[in-house]
Each structure stands twice: as C-alpha cells, then as structure tokens.
Structure 1
Amino acid sequence: MEIIRSRTLAAWLLAACIGLPTLAAAQATASSSMAQDQPTDTLVPPTSASDFTGQQLDSALAGDWRSPNNRARDVYRHPKATLQFFGIRPDETVIEITPGGGWYSEILAPLLHDDGHYIAAVEKPASGDEASKDDDALHRKFASDLMHYGKAKVVEFDPKAPVFGAPGSADLVLTFRNVHNWASTNKDGADTTSAMFKAFYAVLRPGGVLGVVDHRADDSAMLDAVKKSGYLPTKYVVKMATDAGFTLEDSSEINANPKDTKNYPKGVWTLPPTFALGDTDKAKYQAIGESDRMTLRFVKPAPATATP
C-alpha cells in the first residue's frame, strides 16, 4: 500500500516540528502548509515510504513520553533497525505479544496512533502474578497519556488456547523475548509454543509478517539443555514457526552480541537489565551488555492463484 503522496510531504515537515509526524496530520494540514515557505537548505522531505517511516520512528524514539530507563536500553535493543527489518508501516494493524511493562509500547502505540492500530496481547492474569502486574502497569501507562496511547487496545489470551483477534485481521505480529518463556513451561517446550505460533498464523492476513526476537543459544545447543537458561536454539524457533505454516523470510544480526558467552550462574538473567546476582560481578556483566539475540522475520504465505 502506498503510504506517502507528494501532496502530504510539506505537511509532514510542519507536523515534524510539533510532535510525532503522522499521515493524518499531514493530510489535515496539507493545503495550508503548501502555501508556507520552507527553508529547502535545512529541511529535506522523505523520498520514499521507508524514509517516511524511518523519520516517524526517529520522532517516536525521541519522544519525551518514553521513560529514561527505557531510552537507556536502545543501545542494546536497536528498536529502529529492528522495526525497519520487520517492515513496519504506520498504517498497519500491529499486535505485540506480551509487552510486559510496555517497553516497545512506548514506540509502537504513538507510531500507529493516527493511521494504524496498536494491540497489546496480554496473558490472562491471575491475581498477584507477574502477568497481573504487567497488565496493571500497561493499563496505567495507556491511561496516563491519552495523546500517545489513547487508541491502543489490550486483548487478553489464554496461552494454552490463544486467540489474538479475528482471523486475517493483523498485518504484523511482534514478539520480543517471549518464546523462551513458553518453551520452559512444558517438558519438550512444544505445547504452549506451538499453540502460540498457530495463533499468530491465524490472526495474520496472507502476506502478513511475524517478527521474533529472543535470546540465542549456540547453534549446537539442545533445547532441553538450555531452555531453563533463557536461551533458545534458533532452529527450535524456526521449527515452531514453519510447523505453524510460516516461511522464514530473513534473519538479521541487528541484535547480536558476540561478548555474550551464554554460561552464567543465573542464565540470561545474570546479564542486564535483570542482574540476578545483584552486585556480584556486576561490572563484568554490565560490560558484556544484554544478551545475544536472534532476529527472525517470518511471512504467512499468500494463497496460490490459479493459472488461467
């Protein structure tokens, strides 16, 4: 879908000066902004849809609504490059699976606010458990800033029989550092993980994209040996996705960390941001940084068309 038209570019420049640039803002102000003189030597309009999305992402990342602690992790999580790798556009319907306290919500919900739809899929919580605390934090975040989160939606799902929305209703499903949690809940890691990937497939439209980021074990590692550490073999994640019907379209080293040796007393949680050992060797683990992560883009194949 073409998301930029020449008549909106000047309006985008005006919108960029006052906040997150969106298609709706551009369309609403196009006629008035075209009449204004713009300094061509300092303001260069985007030349393609990807440029436009990239500049919107820059604005979202720079937003003062983001918490300082979350901003500090950009160097490890590479949100702009990651979201561009997954092909996000601001006019899409995007479902984020188990967003926790909303690290990516702070970027995605404002990005999609005017022209798209952001949906946070959260596990049905039990009173007092981690899911309940995350759910409460997410609702508080959305309620505290209607300007940026007012259109964000929350759906609850049962991880044993998940449903995230109407079949074929989403353009992009994103899951950041969640698969290892599902894999560790069953003896072979397949039951919950398989159900989740099948539900991703169901909610995506044909041609829709599934983006997965998770802690990456060594290629030779076996699932049973590492799943309690928080790391997963890439081949396991690929198998879960392809068994559900997806095609692996591409992988990226955007979130790689060669300093991560993956052999810590408390698994991946030894590293930042958790620091499960407290102050013990904290400087050492801080120097390593956050985990080495796989970044995988899957696509739901479009149905074959009959040849006349």
Structure 2
Amino acid sequence: MTSNFKKSLVTLAGALVLAGTAQAADFSAAIKGDHRNKDYVARDQYRNPAETLKFMGIEPDMTVVEITPGGGWYTEILGPYLSKEGTLYAAHFPENSESDYYKRSLKNFKAKLAANDKAYKKVIVTEFAPQTGREIAPAGSADAVVTFRNVHNWMYRDYADEAFASFFAALKPGGVLGIVEHRAKPGTSLEDMVKSGYVTQEYVIDLAKKAGFEFEEASEVNANPKDTADHPKGVWTLPPVLRLGEEDREKYLAIGESDRMTLRFRKPKS
C-alpha cells in the first residue's frame, strides 16, 4: 500500500467522522436553540430527544411526518433540524373539527410556526384524521413517521388501526415508523389500557404488524423504572399533568414522567 493511498484513506476516514459529528451537532443546535419554550426544555431529561431521534434514524435530508404535534414540543427540534435539506409534515388536528380544544391547539401551533420563519420554513401542516381517510402526507413520500405518546388516544377514539394504516400509506418502501408510548405492565387488559393511558408494548407491536410493518428494535432510552404504572388517575397522575393537584405532589414529582417504550418499525421494501 503506497504512502499516498494510506493518506487518502486517513483523510476519508476523518471526513466520515466529521460528517457524523456534524449531524450530531445539528441535533444539539436544534435542542439548544433559543427558539425553544423554556418549559419544554425542562422536560428534556424525561424525553431524551437527541437519543430518541437518533434511535429512530432521523437524518437532516429526510421527509418526516410528525403525528399530532400538539404544542410543538418535538416540532421545535425537528423543524430546525430538517430546515436545510429535509421536510417536516406536521399532521395536526383537523381544521374543521368541532372540538374547541382541537381548534385552539391548531391555531396556537400555526401561530408558533408563523412567529419563526427561519426555524419552521420547511414545515407543512396537514391533518391527522384517520377515520376520514385523509392523507397525512403524499402517499409513498415519507422517509419516517414519528409519534410521541399518542397510541392510547387512538385506542380511546377507536381508530388505532386506521391510524397505523395511514402511516404505512405515507411511507416509502423501507421507511421508518418511530413510536414512543406510555408502557403498561404485560397482561394489562384493553379496558385498563384505555382508562390509564398506559399501553402494553406487545399491543403496540401487534397494531403495527397488522398494518404491515416489520418490528425492528426497541430501546430503553425513555424507560423510567420508578414508574409503577398503577396510579389513581392513570398516567395523568404524574408530571406534567399532576391530576391529583397537591395530593402526594412531591411523591409524583419524585417519580418523574412516565415509563415509556421506544420502538422502531419498518415498512417492507417490497
């Protein structure tokens, strides 16, 4: 092996390392940006955004669909991260919803995007209404669909199967579905899952497989061993909701946010 060839290999290896570092730094820049809501930043310790998005395989040139972004906790990170090379579809509540909460949430979300054109210039707002068959993004266009602590809501509204089918339709062959959800103890009944907001990992995997996805891997990055998942008001007993108010407040603050599964699925390539 010639000296020049060895130097070329070293240079190439260094460039690859730098490229990986730059990508990681992009996550860091988005997470540390001064555009973020300070109350949201305080929850990073429970939501582990960099590790979670890395596990899901999110890269800066991807087309990503975020399901039900709510107030935009993850949008504050995904929007800037994808703003140069990628696209973010924010599949929010329907515009014509009869729910005042849905309408208010969507209005506030759009105002948030409009207030920072630089951070959110590649964000496209669509609708998540799986019972209507509406597209969350053009069919076969997305590299990844991500959703955070929402599966129990779809179960409650009885459209979980339709939701997963819409994810499958939006993804390219080989695309990724990333899910974070409150984790119930194995064997928890369907009724108790809906009531408590905690869902068994097995049930989520079954929902995804039924839609055609292949289960790829689980991560414990958002696990919380302090959470027993058996609280009086379900998952909403814990922060940030603290539904019991001042009753046992310090106890639940000491537990922190819920124990969560973090799962990655893939749409088959053929």
TM-score by length of 1: 0.80
Q: Structure 1 residues 172 and 50, CA, compared in 2 at 3 Å: closer, same or farther?
A: farther
* Identity rate, percent: 48
For residues 260-294 of structure 1, give each alpha carbon's deviation from its aligned partner in whole angstroms, at most 9, with x where no partner exists: 01111111001001111111111110000000001
RMSD: 1.5
Look up the SS of the partner of 1:83 in the other structure: helix
Alignment of 1:149-160 (within 5 A): 149-160=120-131
For residues 92-120 of structure 1, give each alpha carbon's deviation from its aligned partner in whole angstroms, at most 9, with x where no partner exists: 00000000000000000000001000110
Structure 1 residue 61: deviation in Å? 0.6
Contact 1:223/1:233, CA 8 A, preserved across alignment: no
Which of 61, 64, 70 is matched with 1:94 structurally?
A: 64
Matched, 1:171 2:143: yes
The residue number in structure 2 matching 1:37 is none
Structure 1 residue 223: deviation in Å? 1.6
TM-score by length of 2: 0.91
The residue number in structure 2 matching 1:129 is 100
Q: Structure 1 residues 49 and 130, CA, compared in 2 at 3 Å: closer, same or farther?
A: farther
Matched, 1:138 2:109: yes
Matched, 1:280 2:251: no
Look up the SS of the partner of 1:148 in the other structure: coil
The residue number in structure 1 matching 2:190 is 223
CA distance in 1 between partners of 2:179 and 2:19 (Å)? 23
The residue number in structure 2 matching 1:6 is none
The residue number in structure 1 matching 2:168 is 201
Deviant stretches of 4+, over 4 Å? none
Structure 1 residue 45: deviation in Å? 7.4
Matched, 1:65 2:32: no
CA distance in 1 between partners of 2:238 and 2:222 (Å)? 15
The residue number in structure 2 matching 1:41 is none
Alignment of 1:155-304 (within 5 A): 155-160=126-131, 161-186=133-158, 192-303=159-270
Larger relative contact order (CA 8 Å, sep ≥ 6): 2
Structure 1 residue 129: deviation in Å? 2.5
Farther-moved stretch of structure 1 (44-53 vs 174-183): 44-53
Runs of 5+ consecutive residues of structure 2 not aligned to the other structure: 1-13
How many residue pairs get aligned? The number is: 255
The residue number in structure 1 matching 2:4 is none
Q: Give the partner amino acid of 1:133.
A: R
Look up the SS of the partner of 1:146 in the other structure: coil
Q: Give the partner amino acid of 2:118.
A: M
Look up the SS of the partner of 1:248 in the other structure: strand
Q: Give the partner amino acid of 2:114.
A: A
The residue number in structure 2 matching 1:106 is 76
